Amino acid sequence: METKFPFFGSFVVTFYKMPIRDWEYFRRSHIIYIVNRDAHFLEYKVRVHFMVKILGKYEFPEDLYYYPRHTWARIENGKVRVGIDDWGQQALGRAIAIRVLPVGRFVEQGKPLAVVESGKWRGTLYSPVSGKIVEVNEKLVKEKRVELLNEDPYGEGWIAVIEPTNLEEDLKNLIHGAENIEKWIIEDEEKLKRGELK
């Protein structure tokens, strides 16, 4: 179950199958600790993704890394899950089709990973890291649920998982952290208004 707690800021966290009303929460860094109301024991800890909201309409999980052409990277146990960010999916419009490079293919940072189409646009999504594609999102590719790119770009709308070959160096070329993300998006909005982005 996903929920938001406005008194902690904007974030999304997944809880186990227990009623929310039966639990209390307190924050330590990016971890929310869940304790029963009698405070007898610590029950669970869960990872939290804090959202950076920019210009009142774009949301970016603060802990992700972003390629400047609007794909994201999440490090997961030595692999990297990638997808399109919120700015990218809004610029795309309603997605109607996607083609992703197959499992086993090697891709370089900044090179094409997928081609996506909407009613107003057809374009390339670029890989944020270099490496071997080890998984693609079957919900997008086989089940044709491409609407997930718009509805849940950081969740079920992920595109592929890559086994990186040069991760430490690749991360140096990506955008990370709230201040850097905000600066980047504001600059891209200005470029879009001037017709410098397509």
Domain boundaries in the chain? 2-47, 55-193
HSE on the CB side for 2, CA within 13 Å?
Answer: 8
Q: Check if the beta carbon of residue 32 is closer than 8 Å to that of residue 39.
A: no
pLDDT for position 193: 84
pLDDT for position 196: 78
CATH topology of domain 55-193: OB fold (Dihydrolipoamide Acetyltransferase, E2P) (2.40.50)
pLDDT in tens, 140-176: 999 999 999 999 999 999 999 999 999 999 999 999 9
Q: Check if the beta carbon of residue 94 is closer than 8 Å to that of residue 150.
A: yes
174-197 mean pLDDT: 89
Q: How confident is the model at residue 84 (pLDDT cuts 50, 70, 90)?
A: very high
Q: Is 17 helix (H, G, I), strand (E, B) or coil?
A: coil
* d(C-alpha 86, C-alpha 152), whole Å: 9
More confident residue, 45 or 82: 82
pLDDT for position 65: 97
pLDDT for position 175: 97
Neighbours of 176 (CB within 10 A): 14
What the block records as the tokens of 68 is 């400047």
The answer to whether residue 53 scores a pLDDT higher than 80 is: yes
